[in-house]
Amino acid sequence: MAVGLVGGIAGVAITIGVARANVFDDIFKFFKREVPEAPVYSDQKKEEKTVPLYKPAIDYENAVVGAVDSAAKSVVSIVISKDLPVIEQCPGDPLGGIPPEFRDFFGGNFGFQFSQPCQRGTKKQEVGGGSGFVISEDGMILTNKHVVADAKAEYTVLTNDGKKYSAKVLARDPVQDLAVIKITAAGLVAAKLGDSSALKLGQTAIAIGNALGEYRNTVSVGVISGLGRTVTASGEGIGTETISGVIQTDAAINPGNSGGPLLNLRGEVIGINTAMAEGAQSIGFTIPINNAKRAIQSVKTTGSIRSAYLGVRYRLVDEEYAKAQKLPVNYGALVRGSEDGPAVVKDSPADRAGILAEDILLEANGEKITIEHPLSAIIQKYNIGDTLTFKIQRGDTIVTVRAALAERPSN
């Protein structure tokens, strides 16, 4: 009984000690415990996950800087100069035609000194500016045709390192707003040409150029806002031109940017900046670089821009025009003459193939002709001498003809 009791007491004592120790452990754990996070809404969790985006943001900024740094060496400014008359105020006599007796009666010139505008020779003056980029180490430069359209003007190129060169116009594209000029230089850095067929909406776009003809190598950044646009561009002394298949971007394009490159994040040229929408915010247009590659190669091999030619004047058909004209289809190219000339040019590939006025060209080599995919853009893909098969709506019937493309006449 005593042993038991002792044993019992000892057992009780031990039990109490263990119990007290467990209590202190529980209290300690209570104050040291890790409090579980309060529940949060799913969008809050998403927000927390996006906080570390500062690193990709830095990577993006570095990509833009890197693209500009690699391409800027190839971008040039083009200064346009002309001999203009120097007008001054010269001494004159507006009463010179009055008979002498009347002049004497009224006291000669009535005591006044007269002057009138007169020309004192000519002076070379800067009349405009544009941009371009180097496409060969020996000084070939791609720009817009409208930048170098004036045959009487002189063109000076300023390279990225501040050097100045006199430029000669090698070729003006008869179809697109493109031209190639040449300076006498060596060891230049040619721009890297990208692939404009792979562009996506929202992709980063970087424009570089001689903004306002004054701020060389101005950089603006935006995105690809649209693809396959058709715009009608005009300018003083240039006239009006419809440009198809162009890229739309919100990267700022200003006067003087014309002819400069539009870049992707790899620093590759994806377009040639050519126009901006007046009265709008950040709507600029760029010729896809793929459209220019054939012209560049033509100049390098032949010294001129040779382009394929079908020989028709046409009006692209959409649903609205089809209803207004009561046409049997709502797409294609309606072969129709204008004040510029007949629907089918005499002795042209179209004429020899038997294409007629009022035919509607529906397809060329299986490619559907639409507003977004015009006939001119399709023909530009082919070489002189290539034969295209055309699907044609002629009245109520469908006919097929084959036409071998010829070289576009120089005029």
Q: Which residues are catalytic?
A: 146, 177, 258
- Supply the DSSP symbol for 207: E
Question: How far is Cα 177 from Cα 129, in angstroms, rounded to an integer?
Answer: 16
Q: Is residue 247 a contact partner of residue 286, using CB atoms and an 8 Å limit? A: yes
Q: Which residue from 230, 277, 264, 242 is spatially nearest to 373, judged by alpha carbons? A: 230
Q: Cβ contacts of residue 83 below 8 Å, gap of 6+?
A: 122, 123, 124, 125
Three-class DSSP category at 236? coil
Give the span between the Cα atoms of 30 and 358, in whole angstroms.
Answer: 91
Token representation of residue 238? 């240039």
Whether 295 contacts 173, CB under 8 Å: yes
CA angle, 145 then 175 then 282, to 5°: 60
Structure-token match 């579980």, residue found: 36
Burial class from Cβ neighbours inside 10 Å (0-12, 13-18, 19+) for residue 116 reads: exposed
212: left (phi over 0), alpha (psi -120 to 50) or beta: left
Burial of 379 (0-12, 13-18, 19+ CB in 10 A): buried
**CB-CB contact of 219 with 208 (8 Å):** yes
User: 311, 348 in Cβ contact below 8 A?
Assistant: yes
Question: E strand or H helix at 268, and its extent?
Answer: none
